[in-house]
Amino acid sequence: MNPAATAERSHGKTWQPTEATTILAFKFSGGVLVAGDRRATAGNTVVYDRADKVLEIDRHSIMAIAGVPATAWEMARVLEHSFQYFRRTQLQEMSVDGKVRALSKLLRDNFGFVMQGVGVVVPIFATYDSHPKPEARLYFYDAMGAQFEATDYAATGSGSPAVRGILYYENNWGAKPLQELSEDGAVSVALRALDTAAESDTATGGVDRSGKVYPLIKIVSRKGITTLPEKKIAAVFKETVA
């Protein structure tokens, strides 16, 4: 048994790890949009309302995290160093398949902690593949490291059922399929999805209207990674969501 958990139970409490949810990603006309709300929780307690769940790994790769931030951030650092080392020693970028398997291995190596009830991470990985043909690639994982390539969208975390419902609806019955949306249209869909998830899931922050805290949104494309400024996100939210 975890010593920290044992100590907490002896004082009449159960220790709860800090967790970060909810994340989503989908392909649109400009590449892949990756978004995450900013809330981190421990049980039913809000620990932090400005957590960074969308992490840049290299010039064309993003890892979004749902689960325990401490474990996920360490995985992100290991991935970043691995990709840099490969690039400097081989004088070329690691292949997308190599990047995807590298993250899968980190998740498998972490499964011992998952079985103990700590350290669970369920990420999304988005990248832009230049070979053999330029295209955006999107993957989601389970806690054991199994990888699945998404053709249109992916979402994980406690608010993901609501998010997937929104994305499914928009992709099939919205004004345009997700892959045909403009940047502003894609941002609007992401904000609506996270805001809807926050209505039914207390661990999802959505948009904090009083504190003016907005989700973190990044886009990966042929040009690299772009972090959308908060002013732009706020403007799209005010115009199309609020």
DSSP 149-207: E-SSEEEESTTHHHHHHHHHHHHHHSSS-GGG--HHHHHHHHHHHHHHHHHH-TT----
CA atoms within 13 A on the CB side of 187: 25
User: Is 125 in a helix, a strand, or coil?
Assistant: strand
User: Is 21 in a helix, a strand, or coil?
Assistant: coil
Active-site residue list:
21
User: Is 48 in a helix, a strand, or coil?
Assistant: strand
150, 107 Cβ separation under 8 angstroms:
no
Distance CA 155, CA 203 (A): 15
37, 159 Cβ separation under 8 angstroms:
yes
Give φ, ψ of 121 to 5 degrees.
Answer: -135, 130
| Angle (nearest 5°) at CA 223 between 129 and 189 | 85
